Amino acid sequence: MLPTARPRRTPAHPWRWVIVAVVVIAALNLAIFGLSSSDTSPEGRTLPSTIDSLTPPPGELIRLQDTIGADLRDDLTGVLLLDGVEIPEDQLERVVPLASVTFRPGPDQDLERFEAGEHTLTVLYWEQGKPRPANPDSYSWSFRAGA
């Protein structure tokens, strides 16, 4: 006696795999779109065109003796205010051709180290070669200092 051929069974839910594949592809596409269009600028803020970069970036945690400052557009100059107090000119480090102004606390400075906690840094800036205006443009941001 010959074995009888079994009838082929069709799956109960033949579209199940198609539906799962479509859902997975849609989820991957949404994830890729979300990551590519997310705002990765510090604190979601963009810098004015007059400022190239900030040290530290807004919201950053730094060590108690790290350098702080701003890199301005090359035709500008400026000064720094830490928590509303202007840092003396003789304690600032400048790279004039790059319009960079920074400060690093240390033993020969008014400030040997930052106090732990939140600080606000402001850069006041104006055109190089011109006297400081009464109300120069400014930009402020916050950072944290810790041990």
Task: Give every strand in the sheet of 100-103, ordered side by side.
Answer: 51-55, 68-72, 100-103, 93-95
Tens digits of residue pLDDT in 18-35: 777 778 887 777 777 676
Whether 8 maps to a domain, the answer reads no
Whether 5 maps to a domain, the answer reads no
Tens digits of residue pLDDT in 91-146: 999 999 999 999 999 998 999 999 999 999 999 999 999 999 999 999 999 999 99
Domain span at residue 105 reads 46-145
DSSP reduced 3-state for 74: coil
DSSP reduced 3-state for 54: strand
Q: Based on the structure, what is the number of domains in the chain?
A: 1
Cα(12)–Cα(4) distance, rounded to whole angstroms?
23
Whether 97 maps to a domain, the answer reads yes
Residue 129 has what pLDDT? 92
Buried/exposed 125-140: b ≥16 CB within 10 Å, e otherwise: bbeeeeeeeeeeeebe
Whether 10 maps to a domain, the answer reads no
Label residue 61 exposed, middle or buried (CB < 10 Å: 0-12, 13-18, 19+): exposed
Query: What average pLDDT does this structure show over 9-26?
Result: 74
CA 104 to chain centroid, in Å, comes to: 20
CATH of residue 66's domain is 2.60.40.1220
- 118 vs 10, more confident: 118
Whether 113 maps to a domain, the answer reads yes
Whether 50 maps to a domain, the answer reads yes
